[in-house]
Structure 1
Amino acid sequence: MKFIPSHDSAWHAIGGEDGPQPHPKPAAHSLLTLEQWHAVRDTWPAGLPTGLIVPNTVDVETLAADLPRLALLVLQFPKWTDGRAYSQGHVLKARLNFAGELRASGDVLVDMVPLLARTGFDAVQLRHDQLESSARRALSIVTDHYQGDVLEARPLFSRVAA
């Protein structure tokens, strides 16, 4: 799991004084809203590292044709109690085989990190009051599961003592 500071300098949201620009100019490591992407995807250069901010209300299966062109998807958790982005992440990685980086952002707490890893997230932007050291520790507490996940489709019963 990669931990991204809230001021990620590698990816740049395309916006202006009045919010997101409706028709951004192509640039490497652009982080676009879904509306921006829909406005420019037909003219956006192929092979340009591009990221997309995806609200948790979006049916990610509608993005299937665009996934090969996207290097990063940022799935949003507007509240830690709203888990729809877990399902989005699972669908993107397990069903749609998204090969790019899948990042959780928003109201992301340390306690969420293990499930984020199990549902396909590669990276996380923790909420400002959460500690990366605590999140790393949370990943190491439980390492074996009975249920399958994105990384391991079914449980390995050979680990269970007979």
Structure 2
Amino acid sequence: MPPKTPSAPVLCLGVDPGSLACGWAVVSRFGSRLELVEAGVIRSARGADFDQRILGIHLRLSEAIERHHPQFMAVESPFVEKNAATALKLGQIRGGILLTAGLHRLPVGDYNPMQVKKAVSGYGWADKTQVGKMVQVLLSLKEPLAADASDAAAVAIGHLLASRS
């Protein structure tokens, strides 16, 4: 019996957390075909109050969720940060992102950078350039995405390939 083909594409919102630049990308999968729906980078001013940065990320991600209605959110977990203050800030950003998913009733996949690199490039130690090129190939893009948006697309691709939902 042939494998069942889904009747509708599955959409995942991938997020690459950052306090100054937070990448996001909505990627769809229909059978084995992957396609970029929309992607961007949420930029915060360096001097902006931290609570306003988190709010800005929440609002922009909420807009993307309301526009595209993804079934999942996939978030990259941070590598171990040497600077405790930076790690704390990144944790707060992630908390805001996870709250956004919860408010929209989206299940969340959590992936470390090595898992994302392996899913996209086949090699867990791939560098950012290799991952960016693979994202461009997998999504059949004519132009590369901005680095943070590309990282977010890689997270979404990794989730869609791992979940096979």
TM normalised by structure 1 equals 0.30
Specify which structure has the higher proportion of helix.
2
TM normalised by structure 2 equals 0.30
Structure number with the bigger relative contact order (C-alpha 8 A, sep ≥ 6) is 2
Larger radius of gyration: 1
